[in-house]
Structure 1
Amino acid sequence: MVSVEGIDARKWDQIQPVYQEFLEREIDSAEALEQWLLELGQFDAFVGETGSMLYVEMTCDTENEEIKQAYLDFVEQVQPELAKVGDLLNRKLADSPHADALDSVEYNVLLRDTRMDLALFREENIALGTELTKLGQRYNEICGAMTVDFDGEERTMQQMGKYLQVNDREVRESAYRAVGERRFQDSEEIDELFDKMVGLRHQIALNAGYENFRDYTFDAKHRFDYSPEDCESFQTAIEQICVPLMRDIDEERRAVLGLDALRMWDMGHDVKGRSPLQPFAEVEEMVAGTSRMFHRLSPELGEFFDSLRDGTSLDLDSRKGKAPGGYQLQRDHSRKPFIFMNATGLQRDLETMVHEAGHAFHSIYADHLPLVDYRSAPIEFCEVAAMSMELLTHDFLDEFYSPEDANRAVREHLEGIVSILAWIATIDAFQHWIYTNPGHTKEERHQQWIELGERFGSILDWSEFEEWRKVGWQRQLHLFSYPFYYIEYGIAQLGALQLWLQYQIIFVDVRDG
């Protein structure tokens, strides 16, 4: 087994000799090839975790120039070399006369994916990928710097969310306007940044012999089981089933509130005038309550969650300079998950916490697997683990709420599933259009977004805010850093609902006699 002691994986000249040894090693049997794969995977895990933690540090503090430069140095100096040597290693595996002698059950997926990666690889795309990563970092930097002065304090975009849940309509409108004005200040730069991304991605596809980036990405993501046409059918199904239900829910809301029309600041507060749901005030309260929920759901999951409370695996609060969004990242070398989010005391923060914990549990259950490539399932199924936790913890929300408020939280979540499916269809359809029409103008992109809003959106009255509506897509991180990563949420949501149904049948019905 290769030793990593004393190796600084941030420096290519320190890891290159190790990779060279893997390239030059003689492999004279299927057993030797299997051992080579296992050792290579362990070293890849060490190098990959180094790069991942540089990314984590950058997203936790986008304003720190030293941290940003360390991340960019890795992106510019190490990742391109890793891409080159990765292709050579893939070729060594695929060309080995012993590859087909490997256990077909164990290695079929790995070999299939490797051969697809080989077919897609073009050295000229490495520099384009580096530039895309840097543009994604710039997007995070722009969003991380967004704050507004409101209610006597400087607040992040995430911290403003609570003001859209108060019962005072004037406060909600003021909060909406403050956030919208701040986002719109950077909309031109973000549009220009996205134009560059679209152009680079289209060129990557052309270099690899594809007509467009959408078709290239389906192969790059190893989507062997469904096609762009299947995604379009899914979009249509959501349009026909979920969108009418969402609009009925919204119309009921409008009628109960006695409004002539719903505005954007009318969607987050309680229609009965009850105080906003506030599951916690401090992040540690959220962590402690989440631990209790998981212990009640499953002692094993509770122990898994508690293992993350070690001071190095959680960064959960919202603050200026922190990148938007939330994610779980598996550190394959240390075999320890890391969770990042922007909690501000809202119910959606609690949902994010259990969602990312679901990813972490998936990682922990898989961390014993010897093949590093198999420690992460396809994203479509990874999201099932995460979304299932959102549903399976419903019965334990009394750790945060009274019975009445727990029921409110459950209802809001279930209604939210309907609207999130509509949003998923919107984002997915938008990306299909973007990348099959790569020469589009900014104005055409804005118009397409408006048309998709008419197709999949709510019954909101956007008068006076038409310009803000055109750039509403800019707040979706995935469009910038993870293109075509969104339909997975829709597929996984169906799987999570099925698991929840089975849970109701097997556990809840039995428990209740």
Structure 2
Amino acid sequence: MKFDEFPYKRLNINELKSKVDEIIGVFNSNSSFESQDQSLNQMNDLLAEYESYESIAGLNFNRDTTSEKYKAEKDYYDNLSPEFKDLKNQFNRAIMSSKCLPELKSKYGKHYFNIKATEQKTFDSKIINLLKKETELENEYTSIIAGAEIDFKGKTYNLSGLGPFHKSQDRAIRKESFKARYSFFDKNAEQLDDLYDRMVKLRHKIANQLGFENFIELGYYRLGRTDYGPEGVANFRKQIVEYIVPLVQKLNKQKQEILELDHLYYYDGIQYKEGDPKPKENPDKMVDAAKKMYNDLSKETGEFFEMMVDENLLDLVNRDGKMGGGFCTAFPKYERPYIFSNFNGTAHDVTVLTHEAGHAFQCYSSRKQPLVEYLWPTLEACEIHSMSMEFFTWPWMDLFFKEEVERFKYMHIVDSLSFLPYGACVDHFQHWVYENPEATPKKRKNKWLKLEKIYLPDRDYDDLDFPKSGGFWQGQLHIYQMPFYYIDYTLAQTCAFQFWIKSQNNMKTAWEDYYRLCKVGGSMPFTGLIDIAKLKSPFKDGTLKTVSEYVFNWLDSINPKEL
């Protein structure tokens, strides 16, 4: 069955309520383990159906944000979501007070019940309308960004469409393309400021009504972080400042020499004077190359990717009206994932294909987990699968980059290492924002600039006024729509580097550890999954130092001018 043939419908809240009431009624009236287990599975099936239809509605809108039909379906499920959360919460209360809890934990593992306990902390029926409002504000950001129409060199582009110009070997074109990009943000600056201000204050209000001092603790619970908190994250950020920032400064100095520039500005984002490596094939041939790559990598990845292509579970190329960025979603009822991206002719096309395929392969590998909650792990663990897949596919990068393959690999490691301080900066900024919900937009921008000096001390915007005045972060979707998610990429990158190191030494063992991690899905918290994969925790003092030293020594052994 192809994606367009997946059955879809609007679920009715009254019918859902009737079903959940019936499930809870049977659950509470029958105290036997067998009966309660059956009720749990009925609720699980309902959840799989709901999440599948909600995912289809959201995906169709992202594929065409100009469609009134798709917008109506997404709006319907956005409005239904808090109501369904209320029903889930009612079932959570029943299951957490069950006399059969020990037997249920024995069958499914304690993590599911930790998830249920956490979900209870994040929801109360009194905040339903506030949650609906939060979704409205998040959709407003989507509309602003997806609606970008930027005139550049006689043509009109969306934000993704400007990407190739940002990577031009011509410095003047790079600079002008960023000026065009930030002219869009400048025109929408007041709207973006006001939107974020309303979001922050609304989230603070939601947190207060749930009994939290501010949104931070609630934000962590929303992300299912059951085994670490802000203190551990703050210590991790501190290690990034101590170990990674100096290494990135060395890399920036080296890049300045490679590019033969007197000074490095933000728009000098290329790695090589002749321009960065680009895929040598068109999108269709890239998919063919990916088929060969995944068939060679393992039997499981080969079957997986053939299925993705055959069932039209890929939407890869940038086009007008399509939401920017890349992501993977899933339809639990149909046991299928979906990859969404915006190819624009840059090396990012390849890394986003391998990255999102890592997510999709994990989801497909764990499709037989007994519970929907175990299909995906928490987000920082999800990013291990995606970022590690970028490295596991290295032996086949010549299929995409031909003679520039070694240049690509060097650039890939440089970019991955250089990302860590930015990811930490985004996280530090969000903690400050939600600790200070009454701060003005101007104060937020000033704080961002102060944090840039700590995490990104070499960054110089020249005369790009919008980012120079502290607005750079407003182009980061996660800050608006997924608070506290972004540090997950840095935690996962630290783990992905470990898989890369393993694969350099023993590809077979590294892949076995990776595939084992994929199959267990979300049946454990982050720290448990790290143990399963035989990785060292990023939170442990010394892990980041050891990993970064290996990575930097690898970079140091290569003369990029000779690539």
Using structure 2 for the length normalisation, give the TM-score.
Answer: 0.85
Distance 1:251 1:10 in 2: 57
1:197 alignment partner in structure 2:
199
1:154 alignment partner in structure 2:
156
Contact 2:259 2:272 in 1 (8 A): no
CA displacement, residues 307-334 of structure 1 (integer Å, 9 cap, x when unaligned): 1113531111112222222111121001
1:413 alignment partner in structure 2:
412
Which secondary structure state, in structure 2, belongs to the residue aligned with residue 400 of structure 1? helix
Distance 2:251 2:445 in 1: 27
2:455 alignment partner in structure 1:
456
**Aligned-pair CA distance for 1:499:** 1.5
Which secondary structure state, in structure 1, belongs to the residue aligned with residue 438 of structure 2? coil
1:386 alignment partner in structure 2:
386
2:74 alignment partner in structure 1:
71
Which secondary structure state, in structure 2, belongs to the residue aligned with residue 402 of structure 1? helix
Which secondary structure state, in structure 2, belongs to the residue aligned with residue 315 of structure 1? strand
Say if 1:344 and 1:103 are closer, same or farther in 2 by CA, change over 3 A.
same
Say if 1:147 and 1:268 are closer, same or farther in 2 by CA, change over 3 A.
farther
Distance 1:486 1:471 in 2: 17
Aligned length: 502
Distance 1:455 1:341 in 2: 32
Distance 1:70 1:9 in 2: 8
Which secondary structure state, in structure 1, belongs to the residue aligned with residue 267 of structure 2? helix
Matches within 5 A, 1:105-504: 106-268=108-270, 270-271=272-273, 273=274, 275-403=275-403, 405-469=404-468, 470-504=470-504
Contact 1:7 1:14 in 2 (8 A): no
283-292 or 81-90: bigger deviation: 283-292
Amino acid at match of 2:440: T
**Aligned-pair CA distance for 1:295:** 1.7
1:54 alignment partner in structure 2:
57
Consecutive unaligned residues of structure 2, counting only runs of 5 or more, are 1-5, 511-563
Amino acid at match of 1:89: F
Which secondary structure state, in structure 2, belongs to the residue aligned with residue 340 of structure 1? strand
127-136 or 280-289: bigger deviation: 280-289
Say if 1:508 and 1:299 are closer, same or farther in 2 by CA, change over 3 A.
closer
1:44 alignment partner in structure 2:
47
Amino acid at match of 2:139: Q
Which secondary structure state, in structure 1, belongs to the residue aligned with residue 182 of structure 2? helix
Distance 2:302 2:7 in 1: 36
Distance 2:315 2:8 in 1: 27
Contact 1:165 1:269 in 2 (8 A): no
Distance 2:488 2:39 in 1: 33
Contact 1:281 1:345 in 2 (8 A): no
Which secondary structure state, in structure 1, belongs to the residue aligned with residue 316 of structure 2? strand
Amino acid at match of 2:57: L
Which secondary structure state, in structure 1, belongs to the residue aligned with residue 156 of structure 2? strand
Contact 2:182 2:464 in 1 (8 A): no
Question: RMSD in angstroms over aligned alpha carbons?
Answer: 2.1
Distance 1:502 1:258 in 2: 35
Distance 1:257 1:230 in 2: 38
Say if 1:418 and 1:86 are closer, same or farther in 2 by CA, change over 3 A.
same
Amino acid at match of 2:437: P
Contact 2:332 2:372 in 1 (8 A): yes
**Aligned-pair CA distance for 1:10:** 3.3
Distance 1:38 1:509 in 2: 36
2:12 alignment partner in structure 1:
11
Distance 2:278 2:244 in 1: 28
Contact 1:184 1:468 in 2 (8 A): no
Amino acid at match of 2:237: Q
Using structure 1 for the length normalisation, give the TM-score.
Answer: 0.93
Contact 1:27 1:33 in 2 (8 A): yes
Contact 2:105 2:113 in 1 (8 A): no
Contact 1:380 1:489 in 2 (8 A): yes
Amino acid at match of 2:218: Y
Amino acid at match of 1:319: R
The percentage of aligned residue pairs carrying the same residue is: 29
Distance 2:74 2:509 in 1: 51
Distance 1:205 1:112 in 2: 20
Q: Which of 91, 95, 103 is equivalent to 1:93?
A: 95
Which secondary structure state, in structure 2, belongs to the residue aligned with residue 342 of structure 1? strand
Contact 1:384 1:492 in 2 (8 A): yes
Consecutive unaligned residues of structure 1, counting only runs of 5 or more, are none
Which secondary structure state, in structure 2, belongs to the residue aligned with residue 424 of structure 1? helix
